[in-house]
A and B are shown apart, each in its own frame.
Chain A
Amino acid sequence: MTDHAQGHVRVEDVSIRFDGKSGPVTALAPTSVELKPGTFTALIGPSGCGKSTLMNAIGGFVAPSSGRITLDGQPIEGPSDKVGVIFQQYGLFPWFTALGNVRFGLKRLGLSRREEIERAREALDEVGLGAHAGKFPQQLSGGMKQRVAIARTFAFGPKVLLMDEPFGALDAQTRLVMHELLLKVWQKHRATVLFVTHDVDEALLLADDLRVMSQAPGRLLRHYQLEQARPRSFSRSGSDLLDIRDEVIGLLHPRSMLAEPA
């Protein structure tokens, strides 16, 4: 569905400042990062470190104060349908059914009514919600809502998918199911994923690239490349994962974050 050569995100020396009550506040220190087409990057860091800010900048919701962000060579100048977003609070429209929410994202394709409904149904089937197409979001559980959101975003084929702690509000069991589902859908569509989380295990189980961010003002501290085959688990995927896990947890510890050289 998505061209493999596309979805290439470059963040070049981007910093972001907001006007606070007592002068400007730096939310993101100058940061450079590259998201290669079709890869899954997890971004982890303490709360308030600016990881969501970086994500919002790539989504076009916040303009960088300096530096630039490009998608396939084109600067990002605002939200667009090339970049899909999955929110922690789902962002579903409660006045539309699950099917209506998915159709909303398909509108711009200018399909016939029947085609549009058909494609929306396929997308819901893909996340196992075909039987709930006519339900409204408030009739669905948290996990089901997020599945509708995933279906809605993948249905129109964005090149990049931003996920801001998408499973943060879900219980542990549902989370595991969602990981499986997300990997399945992602492997089919192959969008470039940036996944913000503060759960180390989640990041290690899902990502190709793991990037660790410092406390505010955020900057990237470490980059781990994870090549273990999926589906991963800490018992099956060798001790490397556990070593990285210990290191990352150490890095995220408040004291070591202060000691880390700039």
Chain B
Amino acid sequence: MAVTDLRPPPGGLRARLPGAAGLRRAAGRALLAGPVISFAFVLGLWAAVGAAGIVPETIFPAPWSVWAATAEMWSMGTLQKDLSVSLSRAAVGFAIGASLGVSLGLLTGRVPVIRMLLNPFLTVLRPIPAIALVPVAIVWFGIGEGSKYFVISYTVFLTVWFNTHHGMEYVPETYLRASRSLGASKLREFLTVIVPAAAPYIFAGLRLGVALAFLSLVAAELSGASSGIGYRLQEARQYIRTDRMFSLLIILGLLGAAVDLAVHRIGKRLVHWEQS
């Protein structure tokens, strides 16, 4: 090879320094240690308050009561059913909202006429919270699954649209010039240049969309549900079962965080060229 690059590979020198790998492992442990310490701390505090018996159980149940309530709902089979009902609502709502959001974002981002016709309208829709749509959803779709899908997909749609649209708008000019000077057709440019260039934004939108699907799930289940985590929370209120409420809230939080992490991981793999 006549030509050699004289520069060291990026990170090459640093990688050869002794102890660099050890430092990275230590950093990894610190990253994991953070959440563990945080949860242990809160749980310890909670247990201490429960053991002291200073707050009535109906107001603020102890960790073991919440655990017992969880086991009770599990053995009755309601927990499994509620989870599967709620998760499928969130999934269907997310799928509808996300696919509409991405499609429309691709259009408003690249087609000036569509952008002109729709953007002001969609911008006005964005501040309307999901819960405010529940009455409309019930009138339009009744109290069946339709109204739940509507409320969830509405919130997911707007966020995914917004992010996709902005990703499409900020495709770096150099990519477009490179693509055009390489003789790419409009279709190839769109599919293999513009969409990948916007992909980091689209994924950021999808990640927010997943979080919103969970957030709007409880609002959606206010529209006359007979099962689901949100419904079960309402029911627990009628019987003043604070222990069940806590259990359901914690499950909702853990599920949301797990799904968010999963989406983040998938996004990182698919959009591997983004450094952040």
Interface residues of A (CB under 8 A from B): 59-61, 78-81, 83-85, 87, 89, 91-96, 104-105, 107-108, 127-128, 136-139, 141-144, 147, 152-153, 156, 158, 171, 173-174, 177, 180-181
Contacts and interface: CB of A to CB of B under 8 A. Distances in A.
21 contacts: A61-B180, A79-B177, A80-B181, A81-B182, A84-B182, A93-B196, A95-B199, A96-B192, A105-B183, A107-B184, A108-B183, A108-B184, A128-B3, A137-B273, A141-B7, A143-B7, A152-B182, A153-B182, A171-B7, A174-B7, A177-B4
A78 B181 CA distance: 9
A81 B181 contact: yes
Interface centre among B4, B9, B175, B178 (most CB of A within 10 A): B178
A107 B188 contact: yes
Contact of B3 (A61, A127, A136, A171): A127
B5 A79 contact: no
B178 A91 contact: yes
B83 interface: no
Given A95-B199, A136-B273, A142 B174 contact: no
A91 B175 contact: yes
Contacts of A127: 3
Given A95-B196, A156-B182, A141 B4 contact: no
B183 A177 contact: no
Given A93-B193, A108-B183, A61 B7 contact: no
Contacts of A104: 179, 182, 184, 192
Interface string B181-198: 111110010001100100
A219 to B, nearest CB: 25
A81 B178 contact: no
B32 interface: no
B275 interface: yes
Q: Is the interface of B mostly helix, strand, loop or mixed?
A: loop
Interface centre among A83, A87, A95, A171 (most CB of B within 10 A): A95
A78 B6 CA distance: 38
B17 interface: no
Nearest to A108: B183
A80 to B, nearest CB: 7
B23 interface: no
B19 interface: no
Contacts of B1: 128
Nearest to A106: B182
A128 B181 contact: no
B183 to A, nearest CB: 3
A87 B7 contact: no
Contact of A174 (B6, B174, B181): B6
A138 B275 contact: yes
B177 A59 contact: yes
A89 B183 contact: no
Contacts of A78: 180
Contacts of A173: 6-7
Contacts of B180: 60-61, 78-80
Contacts of B9: 141
B35 interface: no
Contact of A89 (B3, B6, B174): B174
A181 B181 CA distance: 22
Nearest to A100: B192
A91 B188 CA distance: 17
